[in-house]
A and B are shown apart, each in its own frame.
Chain A
Amino acid sequence: MKSDEPLYWRSLEELASTDDFRAFVEDEFPNRTPDWNDPESRRGFLRVMGASILLVGASACTRQPKEVIVPYVRQPEELIPGNPLFYATAMSVAGIATGVLAESHLGRPTKIEGNPEHPASLGATDAAMQASVLTLYDPDRSQTVTRNGSISGWGSFITALVGARDVAGLKKGLGFRILTGTVTSPTLATQIQNFLAEFPAAKWHQYDPCGRHSVRSGAMAAFGKPLNTIYRFDRADVIVSLDADFLSSTVPGSLRYARDYSTRRRAAAENPNVAPPRLYIAENAPSVTGSMADHHFRMTAAGVAGFTADLARGGTGAASPEARGVLKDLEAHRGSSIVIAGEHQAPQVHAFVHAINQALGNVGKTVIYTDPVEANPLDEISSIVDLVKDMRDGAVETLLILGGNPVYDAPADLSFLDALKRVKLRVHSGLYSNETAAWCHWHVPEAHYLESWSDGRAYDGTASIVQPLIMPLYGGKTAHEVMNILANRADQSAHDTVRGYWQANHKGDDFDDFWQISLHDGVIAGTSFPEKLPPAAKAIDPAAIASLGATAPAGLEIVFRPDPCVGDGTLSNNAWLQEMPKPQNKMTWDNAVWISSKSAEHYGVTTGDVVEIELKGRKVAGPVWIMPGQADESLTIHFGYGRTRAGKVADGIGFDAYTLRPTDALWQGTGVSIRRKSDGYKFANTQHTQTMEERDPFRAATYAEFHKDPEFARPEEKRVAKDLSLFPLWEYKQHKWGMSIDLNSCTGCNACTIACQSENNIPVVGKEEVAKGRHMNWLRVDRYFKGPLEDPEMYFQPVPCMHCEDALCELVCPVAATVHSAEGLNEMVYNRCVGTRYCSNNCPYKVRRFNFFLYADWNTESLFGVRNPDVSVRSRGVMEKCSYCIQRINSAKIDAEKQDRPVKDGDIVTACQQACPAQAIVFGDLNNPNSRVAKLKRQQRDYGLLEELNTRPRTTYLARLRNPNPDLEKG
């Protein structure tokens, strides 16, 4: 990697800022048919109209406008214009890093992929990682240093900060405080610690609104010291999740967990000798993990604690039949079972679970302990509480906030803002000039991770170097550089700082190689933490059981969770995530008060009613959503909405759950009351029908049923004779592309949806359009409920284009804008489409999407950068749909051709396939009997959606298999 070669960056930076670059970027981008909004293309519109009248435009492309082409002044040698480059780096969420490969076109990061070398990714990504590249180009990001809200410069900021430090310095730093989120970056930690060493009276506070507080205190309670827990789901036969949503990105290492768990499921489905894992889950609201569960125990969050206690009582003592059944199963699988407590469950629950796992002999087998990944593990809640107390007492003179947004997300009972106002000098550094920045004297823009040199640790301690792909677009600086200012090294770059740290800690004289290799691989070899044998967990005494088991005071419970899409709010201004349907209810652009149908009836509310929730005197109003599978007497609300200074995208949508969240009920609290205020709130959901309506797009069976009837997925009446056609079938001689989607692995996490959006330049349409039913996602994930409304099974089914061999859409297109390729792809030619929409009417899968307006944004220049230059940006009035990532197919074929070799299985990986943590999507050549996809399609579970219509879909599904416990099987 010569990526630290300064010239390279300079020329890029210039390009990035000059009009030429913009022009160049534009030219990379395909046809904009006229947008009436701006005068330039209004002329274009008239030209085309004129053309069509005169028939001058007999060729559809009228005269090309003058375009300029702008070469480099000094071309970086590793760069080949037109070919993308991939750089290994890492993205941190709440401090925990995951390795990624960032794709760069001519210095523009355009796409994030997982880093196969990285243990937390193994090549997979989640939706947030995919969407992070959009945040990079977000025009709402803070772009300048501001002092009291007015534009200032780095120079004066440095003077001010250094001044403040020197004043504090007189008192050994007394009154100087630093507030960060959870820090795993060794470099940053060292920098801060060095600072503290110099100014012992200064203090470092950490706070992450959705950090692992319970996990930490749980470990403390059990072992007396912080320990990090890692789970090996690939080794687990029985998994008991106590409200632990370990397959969704709220849990560090979730990508790895999803991979391990699905690998095990897949092995069991394909090989009778492998025991299928069995997953029990107890939770109050349906989660993606819950959708994979073989047994779903619906109970309030408080009830989960009770259930834990029940488990702790042991086989005979357990009160509930569920607990007894679960315990029996656990006993039968000592050493090959996992009991996992939810991030958001009380510390005691975690303490219990540690003890139970030890008792079951899982430690060291399926449950691994290591040192904490945090550089400085501490109880973040008490940390922020202390800070606020000191601020209120006026003990804080300077507060340096590195990232984070406490004014918005600090616990409500602390009334952080009032306290903050008493601080003499308040400094905020962040990606956005957010709610907190508004109350700080100084705000300085922070560099996005794709613009930053840094480092961080993964869920298992593995360290990665974060390297930039582009110079900071808005002149932001990293936390390292801000700390350098305090260390009087304002001129030292983050690169030197990070490199310096690792050089200092590197034994041996081969540092340069080590550095190059670490950068290239995206992981630093041998940094993952070694396994630690923990001390015996604190024994569980009956008293503790009693206290934990004591059912929480009756009445309505409220549960706080990070939003499934925008998390704790740091991602709120990301339009891709806002328009990403939440897995459970397919809602976009909103958060809601989840309530069970029974409770809704009881409290006389229904979906769309706006209710006022009151907890300990604090109130918030939000719309109700009746969620099947939600526990009775338990409300769930999500963070991340109700932003006031997030940016154009997120401001003013949803309601702010933080305003209700006290320190003593961080994740759930009782004694909440709701009052119906008004009704008729309009949600924008992408799916309205909740059930399968006596149809069976999604097919599932238990292992027992599967063994009885291996063909259950393709019953006779669904099949069609191979040659049932008036016409001879077409032959596909060379390649025959197809896709297989394993419903047994898919968790419905939506990573594929956003990966597709990022890869294929899919526009965002906004809440109103979504509400009209005009969302554009090429790959949608359908969600179906099966069973009773109170406690149904929840199924997810990704639906891309089926690329039918007898494609109904093609038959009815009057201008041949959609036809079949020689390789059996259902081609959609945007530039030929006139927009009759007949193809969509005739598509039984309704996978086609139409540009009812000019959805592509041609006004926000900064957003041009995120587009994939290999895919046309669709204009108004044309149909679009999944292309099986034709751009990837073509480039793979061209590469193979140039090397004069056939395309190998695995050469072509679609965006959705690449992102999927569960490896549920496999693409390949059906003419190659040994390709993975061909093998999968030979499985008995393989079935085509609506195959009885004889559309001959190329995309088929593998049916879901469930492994319920016979003792507990319902009915």
Chain B
Amino acid sequence: MLSETKVSEHAENLHGIMAEFDDPESLLAAAQQARLEGYRDMDAYAPMPVEGLAEAIGFRGSWVQRLVFLGGLCGAAGGFMLCWWITVIAYPHNVAGRPLNSWPAYVPITFELMVLIACITAVVGMLMLNGLPQPYHPVFNVERFARASRDKFFLCIEASDPKFEPVATRQFLERLNPQEVMDVAL
């Protein structure tokens, strides 16, 4: 382990300062503390979703559901229009004596396409909003951060925060009695 004091001097090439916790509860508490302290640019990392954590670090609702709704609409409309266009415009045939626009028969396709497009937007939208794929990220510089995907919980206050100040921030974090506090190099 490298000793904190030294690294803190290179504030300019810091992404932020990170504190490690043992359990979700303390992380949640820490995050709320930080916010009270007035920190804004921060992120919390946990091996599984933790209720209230996102809100605690000031994350306001997500757009995913709106996208999905739009996707669903397009899918449904597209599905029905496709069937209608094929049977009425593209090549009108007398099929089994049914009218050209046998709309009841188009329901299944309409529905399936709605679901298909909605689901695709859900996943693609989620990834895009999360800015993924993003294989490189400064937090990975921290070696212990590997355990964020196993059993440890991290709070990272980012250098971009106007209130960020290497020494002060570090001392603030240490006050939250974490396992450890470390710098996140850029």
Contact = CB atoms under 8 A, between A and B. Distances in A.
Interface of A: 725, 727-730, 805-811, 816, 819-822, 952
B98 interface: yes
B94 A822 contact: yes
A952 B91 CA distance: 24
B96 A820 contact: yes
B93 A820 contact: yes
A727 B99 CA distance: 7
A810 B99 contact: no
Contacts of A816: 91, 93, 95
A727 B94 contact: no
A819 B98 CA distance: 11
Nearest to B104: A726
Contacts of A806: 96-97
A833 to B, nearest CB: 15
Contacts of A810: 95-96
A810 B96 CA distance: 5
Contact of B96 (A728, A807, A821): A807
B5 interface: no
Contacts of A728: 99
B95 A819 contact: yes
Nearest to A727: B99
A811 B102 CA distance: 11
Given A810-B95, A820-B96, 6 more contacts: A725-B97, A727-B98, A729-B97, A730-B97, A811-B98, A816-B95
B94 A730 contact: yes
Nearest to A952: B97
Chain B interface category by residue count: under 10
B96 A811 contact: yes
B45 to A, nearest CB: 46
Contacts of B94: 730, 819-822
Contacts of A821: 94
Nearest to A820: B94
A727 B102 contact: yes
Interface in B83-113: 91, 93-99, 102
Query: Can you list the 4 inter-chain pairs with the closest CB atoms, starting with the nearest?
Result: A811-B96, A820-B94, A806-B97, A810-B96
Interface string B107-143: 0000000000000000000000000000000000000
Nearest to A732: B94
Classify the secondary structure of A's interface with B. loop
A727 B93 CA distance: 15
B99 A811 contact: no
B105 to A, nearest CB: 9
A807 B93 contact: no
Residue among B93, B97, B98 having the largest count of chain A Cβ atoms under 10 Å = B97
Contacts of A822: 94
7 contacts: A727-B98, A730-B97, A808-B96, A819-B94, A820-B93, A820-B94, A820-B95
Nearest to A816: B93
B125 to A, nearest CB: 30
A54 to B, nearest CB: 24
Contacts of B95: 810-811, 816, 819-820
Nearest to B95: A810
A729 B97 CA distance: 7
B94 to A, nearest CB: 4
A732 to B, nearest CB: 9
A805 B98 CA distance: 10
A816 B83 CA distance: 13
Contacts of A820: 93-97
B180 to A, nearest CB: 57
A444 to B, nearest CB: 58
A819 B87 CA distance: 12
A723 to B, nearest CB: 12
A808 B96 CA distance: 6
A411 B91 CA distance: 67
A644 to B, nearest CB: 53
Nearest to A806: B97
Interface in B29-48: none
A816 B100 CA distance: 13
Residue among A808, A809, A819 having the largest count of chain B Cβ atoms under 10 Å = A819
Contacts of B91: 816
Contacts of B98: 727, 811
A350 B131 CA distance: 104
A321 B126 CA distance: 96
A811 B96 CA distance: 5
A809 B96 CA distance: 8
Contacts of B99: 727-728
Interface in B140-156: none
A522 to B, nearest CB: 43
B77 to A, nearest CB: 23
B91 to A, nearest CB: 8
A842 to B, nearest CB: 10
A725 B98 CA distance: 10
A805 B93 contact: no
A822 B93 CA distance: 9
B97 A819 contact: no
Contacts of B97: 725, 727, 729-730, 805-807, 820, 952
A886 to B, nearest CB: 16
A102 to B, nearest CB: 38
A725 B94 CA distance: 15
A810 B95 CA distance: 6
Contacts of A952: 97
Interface in B10-56: none
Nearest to B86: A816
A28 B161 CA distance: 83
B34 to A, nearest CB: 56
A952 B97 CA distance: 10
A808 B102 CA distance: 15
B86 to A, nearest CB: 9
Contacts of A730: 94, 97
Contacts of A819: 93-95
A822 to B, nearest CB: 7
Contacts of A807: 96-97
A730 B98 CA distance: 8
A839 to B, nearest CB: 10
Contacts of B93: 816, 819-820
Contacts of B96: 806-811, 820
A729 B95 CA distance: 12
A586 B108 CA distance: 44
B84 to A, nearest CB: 15
B120 to A, nearest CB: 22
B109 to A, nearest CB: 12
A734 to B, nearest CB: 13
B67 to A, nearest CB: 31
A871 to B, nearest CB: 22
Contacts of A809: 96
A385 to B, nearest CB: 67
B99 to A, nearest CB: 5
A809 B91 CA distance: 19
Nearest to B91: A816
A848 to B, nearest CB: 15
A952 B96 CA distance: 10
Nearest to A728: B99
A813 to B, nearest CB: 8
Nearest to B98: A727
A730 B94 CA distance: 8
Nearest to B97: A806
A805 B94 CA distance: 10
A510 to B, nearest CB: 58
B148 to A, nearest CB: 45
A800 B93 CA distance: 23
B101 to A, nearest CB: 10
Contacts of B102: 727
Nearest to B94: A820
Nearest to B93: A819
Nearest to A808: B96
Nearest to B102: A727
Nearest to A729: B97
